């Protein structure tokens, strides 16, 4: 059989435009492996792609889906050997598209063995958020032990990952969330403090919680008018990292604070970056984070799983913002 089941975006629109389809099974090229997918993570960029505002990068599949877990079916023998992988091995992988399918190609360097003790559903929830958090919080923002990190949206997939990783590496964590229950969930995951942004000014609270010093790093998925307040609550030499613009692309802030406090305002997107860049993140994760997953010191947080044929319902759930942690499709 040379075809497969997949979920395609039939046209830009609401969740119901996600439709089951049959597609030709991909064939692994040089430097790639073909993965038989058992679980696919659902992420905010999938929603944006479905709406027609976040197209896949050139050369990527038009199918949504940026992370999968499953078994290596075939692939570049030399690449597999150099990466310490093999046909038949359970892996999770970051992909630039095509994850909502029974088979997907992935660059060898973006594949990681499923951590000991993890199910495929748990493993499928790892790549997109762990690659993103590591790249932005630890590489770009250089978060150090003893510093304070403010995470916007602490119960999102990114948020639950950032809380656990920052705590594991010795930082103090302040998270924001939109309800008292979600704030409690952040604290249960390890956050030192959680701020309900609907009932309190997160910037004022962050300054109060740090004794007026401010936070060292902000991980921001909102942008828009949040940037003004985030800059105001950064400590000297603080770093603001913007990774999404759910609150809008326009922002203003007091530039004199940037000068006086030597602040850094930066940001990044992961999907269009080259394979070599993503492979370097994978290598760092395998060395520094995968052992923590194997011991249970860090755990994937799964909110719910859905049969892949119910991808529309999974997207509706994500857009409702009622979830805590990751949403995963199963095949």
Q: What is the pLDDT of residues 133-192, one digit of tens each?
A: 999 999 999 999 999 999 999 999 999 999 999 999 999 999 999 999 999 999 999 999
- The DSSP annotation for 274-323 comes to -HHHHHHHHHHHHHHTHHHHHHTSS---EEEEEEGGGHHHHHHHHHHT--
Domain coordinates in residue numbering, the chain: 3-128+271-330, 141-267
CATH dotted code for 3-128+271-330: 3.90.180.10
Q: What is the pLDDT of residues 182-226, one digit of tens each?
A: 999 999 999 999 999 999 999 999 999 999 999 999 999 999 999
318 pLDDT more than 70: yes
1 pLDDT more than 80: no
Q: Which residue has tokens 């049959």?
A: 22
Q: What is the pLDDT of residues 31-52, one digit of tens each?
A: 999 999 999 999 999 999 999 9
pTM, two decimal places = 0.96
Q: What is the pLDDT of residues 51-87, one digit of tens each?
A: 999 999 999 999 999 999 999 999 989 989 989 999 9
Q: What is the mean pLDDT of the chain?
A: 97
Rounded to a whole number, what is the largest CA-CA distance in the chain? Answer: 64
CATH dotted code for 141-267: 3.40.50.720
131 Cβ contact list (under 8 Å, min separation 6) = 94, 270, 278, 281, 282, 285
Q: Which pair of structure tokens corresponds to residue 8? A: 């395609």
The CA distance from 280 to 286, in Å, is: 10
């Amino acid at each position: 059989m040379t075809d497969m089941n997949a979920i395609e975006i039939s046209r830009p629109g609401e969740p119901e435009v996600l439709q089951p389809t049959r597609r030709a099974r991909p064939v692994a090229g040089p430097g790639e492996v073909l993965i038989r997918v058992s679980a696919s993570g659902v992420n905010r960029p999938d929603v944006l792609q479905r709406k027609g505002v976040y197209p896949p990068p050139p050369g990527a599949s038009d199918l949504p889906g940026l992370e999968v877990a499953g078994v290596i079916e075939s692939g570049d023998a030399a690449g597999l050997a150099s990466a310490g992988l093999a046909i038949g091995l359970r892996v999770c992988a970051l992909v630039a598209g095509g994850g909502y399918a029974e088979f997907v190609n992935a660059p060898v360097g973006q594949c990681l063995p499923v951590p000991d003790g993890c199910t495929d559903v748990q493993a499928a929830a790892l790549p997109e958020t762990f690659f993103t958090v590591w790249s932005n919080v630890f590489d770009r923002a250089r978060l150090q032990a003893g510093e304070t990190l403010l995470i916007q949206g602490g119960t999102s997939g990114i948020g639950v990952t950032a809380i656990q990783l920052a705590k594991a590496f010795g930082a103090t964590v302040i998270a924001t969330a939109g309800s008292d229950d979600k704030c409690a969930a952040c604290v249960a995951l390890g956050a030192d403090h959680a701020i309900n942004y609907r009932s309190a000014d997160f910037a004022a609270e962050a300054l109060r919680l740090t004794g007026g010093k401010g936070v060292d790093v902000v991980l921001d998925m909102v942008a828009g008018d949040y940037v003004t307040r985030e800059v105001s609550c950064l400590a000297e030499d603080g770093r603001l990292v913007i990774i999404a613009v759910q609150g809008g692309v326009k922002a203003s802030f007091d530039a004199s604070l940037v000068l006086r406090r030597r602040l850094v305002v930066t940001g990044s997107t992961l999907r269009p970056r080259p394979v070599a860049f993503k492979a370097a993140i994978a290598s760092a994760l395998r060395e520094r984070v995968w052992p923590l997953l194997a011991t249970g010191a860090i755990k994937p947080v799964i909110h719910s799983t859905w049969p892949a044929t119910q991808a529309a319902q999974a997207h509706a759930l994500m857009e409702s913002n009622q979830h805590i942690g990751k949403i995963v499709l199963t095949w």
